[in-house]
Amino acid sequence: MRSLLSVPKLYDLAQFVMRGTKYRSRLTSQFIRASSGSRILDIGCGTGTILDSLPEVEYVGLDMSAAYVAAARKRYGTVENGAPRHRSQCTFHCLELTDKTVDPLGKFDIVLAMGVVHHLDDASAMNLFAYSRQALREGGRMITLDGVYTENQSRIVKSLLRADRGKFVREESAYRSLCSGSFTSVQTTIAHDLFRIPYTCLIMECFA
Ligand SMILES: C[S@@+](CC[C@H](N)C(=O)[O-])C[C@H]1O[C@@H](n2cnc3c(N)ncnc32)[C@H](O)[C@@H]1O
C-alpha cells in the first residue's frame, strides 16, 4: 500500500477518497487565506493539487519525491512554448529545504507544509520550522496540517493515525514544542471533520 501511494495518480486518488472535495476549499478559505499575488512556498507539495483552490499566486513547490514533482510539473508547470498551464506562476523543485537551499528561493508571504511534519523526526521537524521562518518575510505565516492524537479519540481514528505512512504522528503539545523555537506566536485548530473519513487533524498557523 505504502509503495502504491508513491505513484502520483494513486496518491491523488487516495487523497480524493480520504479528503473529498470540500477539504481544499475549507483549508484555503479558513487557514491559508492567500491573496491574489501572494508568494507561496509549499514544502512537501506532493502533486501540487492545492493550486486548484488558490487564487492567482506566485507558487514554488518543493518535494523530495521526483515522481510527485514530475506529475506536478506536467499538470501545472509551463509548457515548452512558454505558455502557462495554470493561472498562477508555478515552479517545482525536487529538493529538501536546508540552510543552503532556503535563501536562493527568496522571501514568501506564506509557507505551507501540509501533511509533512508527521513524516519528520523531532530534529528534522525543528529544522523545517527554522528554515520556513527564514523563508518568510516579516508578517508572513506558516501553515501546517498533520494528523494528531487527542484524548477521547475513537479506536478507528487512532488506528488510522497509527497506519499513516508518516511515523511521527504526535499530540498537539509535541507539535507546538517543535515550532516554538522558531515562532513565538502560534494558533492551533483541531478539526475532526476536515476529511471524509474519521480523522483528526491539527492545523498550526505560525506567525513570523
Ligand atoms: C502526505 S504528503 C502531502 C503532500 C501534499 N502536501 C498534500 O497535502 O497532498 C507528504 C509529502 O511530503 C514530502 N516530504 C516529506 N519530507 C519532506 C522534506 N523534508 N522536504 C520536502 N518534502 C518532503 C513527501 O515526499 C510527500 O510528498
Q: What is the pLDDT of residue 1?
A: 61
Q: Are 25 and 31 in contact (CB under 8 A)?
A: no
pLDDT for the residue 2 = 62
Cα 36 to averaged position of ligand 1 atoms, centre (Å) = 25
Q: What is the pLDDT of residue 19?
A: 83
Spell out which residues line ligand 1, taking CB within 6 angstroms: 15, 43-46, 62-65, 68, 96-97, 114-116, 119
How many residues can be counted in the chain?
208
Q: Residue 78: beta bridge partners?
A: 84
Phi, psi values for residue 15, rounded to 5°: -65, -40
**pLDDT of amino acid 20:** 76
- The residues near 208 (Cβ < 8 Å, ≥ 6 apart) are 133, 136, 137, 138, 139, 140, 141, 142, 183
CA gap 92, 76 in Å, rounded = 9
| pLDDT recorded at residue 82 | 66
Domain 4-207 fold is Rossmann fold (3.40.50)
**Hey, what's the cell of 120?**
519528520
pLDDT in tens, the chain (208 residues): 667 778 888 888 888 888 877 888 899 999 999 999 999 999 999 999 999 999 999 999 999 999 999 999 999 987 666 666 778 789 999 999 999 999 999 999 999 999 999 999 999 999 999 999 999 999 999 999 999 999 989 999 999 999 998 999 999 999 999 999 999 899 999 999 999 889 999 999 999 9
Pocket test for ligand 1, best of 18, 119, 120 (most atoms within 8 A of CB): 119
Q: Locate the ligand 1 atom nearest the alpha carbon of residue 97 and give its number.
A: 20
Q: pTM for the full model?
A: 0.93
- The residue ranges of every structural domain in the chain are 4-207
Position 181: which residue type?
G
CA of 159 to the centre of ligand 1 (A): 21
Q: How far is CA 158 from CA 148, 170, 188, 190, 201, in A?
A: 9, 11, 20, 15, 12
What is the b/e burial string over 85-111, where b = at least 16 CB atoms within 10 angstroms of the residue's CB?
Answer: ebebebebebebbeeeebeebeebbbb
Confidence (pLDDT) at 16: 83
Helix (H, G, I), strand (E, B) or coil at 184: coil
Q: What is the SS3 assignment for 148?
A: strand
Residue at 16: amino acid letter: F
